[in-house]
Structure 1
Amino acid sequence: MNKTPGYSAPSMAETVPAEEPGNLQPSGVLNQEAMRGKFSLRRILSTADGDVMEPPEAFPPGRPEDPIEMGILSLSIAKSLFENFVLVLNPYISQLDPQLHTFFYVRQKSPFLFTAVLAMSAKTFNPIVYNALYDHAQHLYTEVFRNGLKSTEIVQAILILTYWKQPQDTRAWTSIGYAIRMCMDMEWHKLAPYSTSSRLTMGEARRREIRNIERTWYVLFVYDRSISLQTGRPWMIERNAFIEWIDTWCTDAIADRNDDLLGAFVNLRLMSTSIFSLHAPSRSRGERVPLEDMETLLSLKKASIERWERRWVQEVDKKLLPEEETCHKFLIRFYGMHFRLQLFSLPLQDVLSSAYSDSSLHLDIIWAAFTGAMDMLRLVSQHSTQLYFAQDSIHVMTAYSAAFLVKEIESSTISAIRSAAQAFSHQASAPGTSCELQARFLHNIATKVAQRKRKEIVATPTTASGLDRHASENHNHSESSKLPFLPPEVNQAMPQPLEQPLPDAFIFPHPDLDPLFMDDGAWADILASAAFNTQNVVSE
């Protein structure tokens, strides 16, 4: 493994204190090499003093692994796909260094990474060869796992295969965990900041190889924290001095323009984990931060997100030519809006609980969550040309915002109307009173809206792919055809209707998701039916 100047492999005495008197732990009595990460039965049971000879870290001989040599595609098509990946797709994921990862370098270095790059590029630019390349990439993935191979390129290939995975693929959590454990075996968790003077003593090629390792660890940190936020599962990479060194890392003289996007994402994940951990209930006491204190924290974090966005958009703008376009500004704004939505949707359940039944006292939280979701969908429509190449996480976040709005506007409104109807019903002392008529009126509205929506769902089932279909009609990614797993806070939160009028620009991006409240014809039918039939309550 390539060693970074910022850290070095620990000595035997540091890692395996075998000479310590009374040390009867496995690390003290078993083979030292085995306990330093080369964990195998052959090593543990070895009686040799030195390193135990094992098969080299290479694919089995006797069969070609290069997709060009296998005849899957021609050299010219491979070069075209590789170039398209580096120029078009790589800016979305900040994964490869264009100066280091040339066609020749990647092809010679790792057939797995080479095939993964070509497969994901073919999915977008040449679907005819995609299936064969994808199947070969999966075969190489199996060989890597079966033989226990470890390298920077293998980690990068695993990551690339998860960004634009097939819709039925559920391995993202497992694959990222496997990649992180692989890196820990290579001691990447010991990466540390190093001085400018130490960098200057190395040649550029060596510095780029070191940054390649560091960049991949930063990407894993972002991915690890993102999946944790989406699924509620624990993260694996801890915050340390190297992670917090990201700002300085981005200013290196050989930093790539894509590194600014990675720097923005690392900073965002450092911000997000701090606030979400505060709101999580204490395991020992089952307590949360009081809502009033949480509102203060949220206000501060909202300002931090706005400063974060301004700063990194400016960093991106500095390196752009006047006629250039980039996906980076779109991604920075989109991820910032998604964080804002997640941030303010968390306390909504507390706002709407019995202890905080008066939601009008917390309109800032409700309005911030609502506008966060709306801004995400508006931004998608403004950058429709960049959606075709976007990784799966963009589709997950878009679905999250749309589902949040549907629950905010539709389910919650029906529930609130019914609650109000029940309240008026309790006040109706005799038939024909104003309260009794109001109770019947509200109940009929809620029933008509619910019935109409059920009929629409049966007639026209909606899918996550419809969320951005208006913005990119030629978007044929099959990944967006499934509604992804939504965090528990969305499914549990039942916000009350806003007490402020909705903005004029309140429009859903797909007609199937129209909450009916902007459909004058539908409302005319509902109100007419409810008003003229208050004496005949509709039962469900």
Structure 2
Amino acid sequence: MEQRSETPTSTKPARDEDGQIGSGPAASAVPQRSPDWSSGSLQPAGLFSREATRGSFSLGSILNAPDSIRPGSRSNEPLIPADDPIQLGLVNVSIASSLFDNFMENLNPYISQLDPQLHTFDRVRQQSAFLLTSVLAAAAKAFNPALHKKLREHAEDIHASDFRQGTKSVETAQAVMILTYWKESQDTRAWMLLGYVIRMGMELGWHRLAPYSHHHPPSASDLERRQARNIERTWFVLFVYDRRYDDSKTPSASAGPQSGLTQSLTHRSMSLQTGKPWMIERSEFVESIEAWCRDTMATPGDRFLGALVTLRLLSSEVFRLLGPRSSRVRARQLHNLESLLAIIKGRIEEWESRWLNMADKDSCHPFLIQFYGTHLRLQLFSLPLQDILAQADQNISYHMEALWVSYSSALEMLHLICRYSSWLYFAQDSIHVMTAYSAAFLIKLLMSTPHPISSQIRPAIHGAISGAARAFSQQAAPSGSSCALQSRFLDKILAKIAKDSSEELVARDTTATESHSQPGAGRHTCGAESSITATSARVFSQMEAGLTLDFGDDEEWAGIMAEAGFNAQDGVFFA
């Protein structure tokens, strides 16, 4: 592979524990306080040089070996890195500039990753070939598919080289994350890559960022302040991403061999209680997000990021209060649980109203705020619902709020897809997974509730799924794109509903004819209705880990999703 000579980018200033600009390894331009006995530490992090504990932990940096050159001391660095995709002839400069602009205008608002004032085309090109190539690859997937493959492969090559060399910088972290938002086919590395980036951030000291303060060092320039916010923004994004993956990718402890579909789509709430812990802890810095969003340099994307961080803080608090499902069921505390959720529902509505007022009305942010808030309501109220339906002695009519809120939330998610269809084309994969979850939840509800209820909700469910499928199909997206695959998945569900409905109607007509011709027809009819209810109870009683999304079993669901192009095991789309 060609020798790397990318311009070092770990010179970005960050706020250190004292709230000062300049915690990066090469922030020598900003005065640093020397350790002393009153404020220093006797631990390695306090005694070794900053380079040795912030991203350059090696024997050479600890012992100050002569050949351990400070990254910022090299003066002969080329202006453009050797891995630059334009210099390598992968794309010409005009197309690259156009793709970059398209990314910043159309894709970046979904992830709130980059600052348009700081991340200009020329500056990113000089600082990081990896970040530039990741941005261009993501944009090419939507705007110039012919260039996507070679740009993506080049980004992966740089990533592999950076990993071997131990490169650590905010640009490297951002580039890796961008690769995970709009993944390649069958790419299941997002969880692993997230952990890698978080560890990188910890080596750079981001987990010790000081809480936001309106008081800035008088010597800090606007560029230095934006660079500091760049690091802070990246850590906020990682916090949100970390909590989202903990909330959606972790299997239940009781999951069986057929649990791949369940863990990727339905255990989004249960995982917080039984699975992997998140890596980024709640801190004073994370809790200072609202003040950070009010800074004069805050962008519309920063305000949207503030909405996501506060929602994650709220959701993690709620799931801690709810506790494990097993203890809720044993204690039969469903009434208390519903009372708590009623309070939380109000807090989510307040959150939604507040951040909608702050959102850029001409962007995707109003859609995403409503979508994420509605999704959280579905998660929360599915908890008592699954507890109720898992117990044969529970009467669903006594717990209609749980049924109604979860049902209406899943419907609303699909209605939002229809109302904001103009924002679907560029949506990242998490939106598609949540959409599939809401549709699958509704079908499970339809198939598992007693007939008097299912017959009432069937038309609305069919209409919502049909409308969402139409919205995705009207995007005119390429056949292997997420929108096309989502449309095919929803159409497959609709076909299955129609087939099962026809079979159910024939079976009911046959049963009615036989009952009419035999003595005790009335008693037989009542017995049939009781059988439906009993069957529903049996289905849910077998689901100790929560709702599963099957018409008959997980294998059938997995088959439907595979035919549509959805990998249920890993929660990603593939062609």
TM-score w.r.t. structure 1 length? Answer: 0.74
Q: CA deviation at 1:294?
A: 1.2
**Larger radius of gyration between Structure 1 and Structure 2:** 1
Distance 1:403 1:520 in 2: 16
Whether the 8 Å contact between 1:399 and 1:467 is mirrored in structure 2 is: no
Alpha-carbon contact 2:472-2:484 (below 8 Å) kept = no
Task: Find the aligned partners of 2:170 and 2:483 in 1 and give their Cα distance.
Answer: 30
Q: How far is the alpha carbon of 1:2 from its aligned partner?
A: 3.6
Distance 1:287 1:161, change over 3 A: farther
Match of 1:74 among 92, 100, 110: 92
Give the counterpart of 1:337 among 363, 374, 377: 374
Residue in structure 2 matching 1:93, options 104, 111, 116: 111
Provide Cα deviations, 1:28-73, integer angstroms capped at 9, x if missing partner.
9999975666444x449x7x46686169599x99993010011111
Q: Which moved further from structure 2: 131-140 or 293-302?
A: 293-302
Is this contact kept in 1: 2:374–2:409, CA < 8 A? yes
Instruction: Give the number of equivalent residue pairs.
Output: 451
Q: Is the 8 A contact 2:55 2:200 kept in 1?
A: no
Kindly tell me: are residues 49 and 251 of structure 1, through their superposed partners in 2, closer, same or farther at Cα, counting changes over 3 Å? closer
Cα distance in structure 2, aligned partners of 1:130 and 1:92:
20
CA contact (8 A) 1:467 1:510 kept: no
Which SS does the other structure have where 2:348 is aligned? Answer: helix
Percent identity between matched residues is: 45
Aligned partner (choices 274, 298, 314) of residue 255 of structure 1: 298
Instruction: Map 1:38-77 onto structure 2 (within 5 A).
Output: 38-40=56-58, 42-43=59-60, 48=63, 53=68, 56=71, 64-77=82-95
Q: Which structure 2 residues correspond to residues 330-369 of structure 1 after superposition, within 5 A?
A: 330-354=367-391, 357-369=394-406
> How far 1:180 sits from its partner (Å)?
0.6
Question: Where does the alignment leave 5 or more consecutive residues of structure 1 unmatched?
Answer: 19-25, 421-444, 447-464, 484-507
User: CA shift at 1:197, angstroms?
Assistant: 2.8
CA distance in 2, matches of 1:204, 1:29: 32
Distance 2:310 2:178 in 1: 22
Residue 306 of structure 1 pairs with residue 308 of structure 2: no
| Larger relative contact order (Cα-Cα within 8 Å, sequence gap ≥ 6) | 2
1:387: which partner in 2?
424
State how far apart, in whole Å, the 2-side matches of 1:151 and 1:376 are: 37
Structure 2 CA distance, aligned partners of 1:169 and 1:326?
29
**Aligned residue for 2:477?**
475
When residues 4 and 350 of structure 1 are mapped into structure 2, their CA distance, relative to the original with a 3 A threshold, is: same
SS where residue 53 of structure 1 aligns?
Answer: coil
**Aligned partners of 2:112 and 2:46: how far apart in 1?**
42
Distance across 2 between alignment mates of 1:409 and 1:283: 25
**Which residue number in structure 2 is paired with residue 178 of structure 1?**
196
Deviations 1:359-409 (A, max 9, x none): 221110111111110000111011112111000110010011011111110
Which of 331, 336, 339 lines up with 1:296 in the alignment?
339
Q: Does 2:120 align with 1:102?
A: yes
Residue number in structure 2 paired with 1:17: 42
Contact 2:13–2:224 under 8 Å retained in 1: no
Query: Using the alignment, how far apart are the partners of 1:27 and 1:380 within structure 2?
Result: 49
Question: Is the Cα contact below 8 Å between 1:158 and 1:175 reproduced in 2?
Answer: yes
In the alignment, residue 103 of structure 2 is paired with which amino acid? F
- 3-state SS of paired residue (2:345): helix
Instruction: Work out the CA distance in 2 between the residues paired with 1:334 and 1:244.
Output: 23
Partner of 1:113: 131
TM-score of the superposition, structure 2-length normalised? 0.70
The answer to whether 1:531 aligns with 2:512 is yes
- Tell me, yes or no, if the aligned pair for 2:212 and 2:292 is still in contact at 8 Å: no
Select the residue among 160, 163, 181 that pairs with 1:145: 163
Instruction: Tell which deviates more after alignment, 233-242 or 73-82.
Output: 233-242
Distance 1:164 1:238 in 2: 26
Per-residue displacement from partner, 1:393-444 (whole Å, max 9, x unpaired)? 100100110111111102x14xx56xx9xxxxxxxxxxxxxxxxxxxxxxxx
* Residue in structure 2 matched with residue 453 of structure 1 by the alignment: none
**Contact 1:402-1:467 within 8 A present in 2 as well:** no
Give the gaps of 5 or more residues in structure 2. Answer: 1-10, 24-33, 250-270, 456-464, 519-523, 529-551, 553-575
Find out whether 1:123 has 2:141 as its counterpart: yes
Selected match of 1:163 from 181, 185, 193:
181
Supply the distance in 2 between the matched residues of 1:466 and 1:119 (Cα, whole angstroms).
Answer: 32
Task: Please give the secondary structure, in 1, of the residue aligned with 2:215.
Answer: helix
Q: Cα offset for 1:290?
A: 2.3
CA 1:517–1:112 in 2, change beyond 3 Å: closer, same or farther?
A: closer
CA contact (8 A) 1:115 1:136 kept: yes
Selected match of 2:314 from 271, 279, 300: 271
Quickly say closer, same or farther: Cα 1:397–1:520, change in 2 above 3 A. closer
Instruction: Name the aligned partner's letter for residue 418 of structure 2.
Output: S
* CA spacing shift, 1:351–1:519, aligned 2, 3 Å: closer
Inter-partner Cα distance in structure 2 for 1:265 and 1:342? 16
* C-alpha distance after superposition, 1:122-141 (max 9, x if no partner): 00000011000000000011
Tell me, yes or no, if the aligned pair for 1:12 and 1:32 is still in contact at 8 Å.
Answer: no
